[in-house]
Every structure is written in structure tokens, then in C-alpha cells.
Amino acid sequence: MKEKQLKKWMKHSKLEIKIPDFEENVMDAIQKKEASEKSVWRNIRWSWFFFLVGLILGLMATNLFSNFTFPFLGKNANLLLLVFEILVVVIFATQFDKLIRFTFRK
């Protein structure tokens, strides 16, 4: 008797969705979400690549500027180089922090 009543209850609890193409819409949404997640990871990889390229170019530019002499600046040439080096370090430190946070966020 209990089994028959349980089956009867289960038939009444069945959820019928009256929206046409509901399953297709849900599957399309799932596929779009997966594609966007793959796109995000691809963009993160490119961000790391360009960060490293920029870091190498920044170090090379700093090295090149340290080898140049600026006779028209006199004693201020070292100050200009120091300001440039500080600017490069601050830019790369902030970008590195943002990239780390974006890569390892949940």
C-alpha cells in the first residue's frame, strides 16, 4: 500500500516545463559559459606573456639609459635615470600585483 501511494505522490511531484526548447537553451548557455571561461584563461596566458616581454624590454631600456651620457643635464642625469628606474619598477610592481590577483582569484 505504501509503495502505491509513494508512486502516486511521485507522479504528482513531477515538474513539467512548458517552455519550448528549454533544454536547448540551457545547453547553449552552458556551452557559452564554458567558451567564455576558456577565453578568460587564454587572455590570462597572453597577459603573462606580454608582462614578461614588457619586463624584459623595460630592463633593457633601463640598461641602455644607464649607458648613455647626457652632458647637457650635468649632475641631473643621474637623477633623471633614477626617476626613470623608479617609474619602471612602480609600473611593473602594480601590474604584477594585478596579474597575480586576477590569475589566482576564485
* Average pLDDT score over residue span 30-40: 80
Which pTM does this prediction carry? 0.58
Select from 69, 62, 58, 64 the least CA-distant residue to 95: 58
Alpha-carbon distance of 96 to 52, in angstroms, equals 10
Is the predicted pLDDT of residue 85 greater than 70, yes or no? Answer: yes
Query: What is the per-residue pLDDT for 14?
Result: 64
Alpha-carbon distance of 94 to 54, in angstroms, equals 13
Instruction: List CB contacts of 55: < 8 A, sequence separation 6 or more.
Output: 92
Q: Which position has the grid cell 601590474?
A: 95
Select from 90, 86, 68 the least CA-distant residue to 77: 68
At 16, is the secondary structure helix, strand, or coil?
coil
pLDDT in tens, 37-70: 778 888 899 999 999 998 899 888 888 877 777 6
